[in-house]
Amino acid sequence: MNEVKIKGVYKHFKGDYYIVEDIGLYSETMEKCVVYRALYGDNQLYIRPYDMFASEVDHEKYPDVSQKYRFELQNIKSVKEN
């Protein structure tokens, strides 16, 4: 499992992009959850258990996916950087 970076931009293995807004706790169980926003459409806000967000793709269910993790951090560089 990989570590989730707050304010990081992630690519879902099905292709869309999201930004992690924060890490929260589910009040009933104190389970860590990732709060993330779609970078497309109406910018819907989502919540998913941390372990599920950071987990590897099920390559038995999705054999054609090359991405290792369900969500992978993207290295986005500024156009101002050399």
Q: What is the pLDDT of residues 21-72, one digit of tens each?
A: 999 999 999 999 999 999 999 999 999 999 999 999 999 999 999 999 999 9
Residue 48 exposed, middle or buried by CB count within 10 Å (0-12, 13-18, 19+): middle
**Confidence band of 1 (pLDDT split at 50, 70, 90):** low
User: Please, are residues 20 and 36 in contact by the beta-carbon 8 Å criterion?
Assistant: yes
Element (H, E) at 69: none
Residue that is written with structure tokens 């292709």 in the block: 15
Superfamily of chain region 9-73: DUF1653-like domain (2.30.30.320)
The model carries a pTM of 0.88
- CA 37 → CA 27, 34, 59, distances in Å? 21, 10, 25
> Where do the structural domains in the chain lie, given as residue ranges?
9-73
Q: Which helix (H) or strand (E) holds 11?
A: strand 9-12
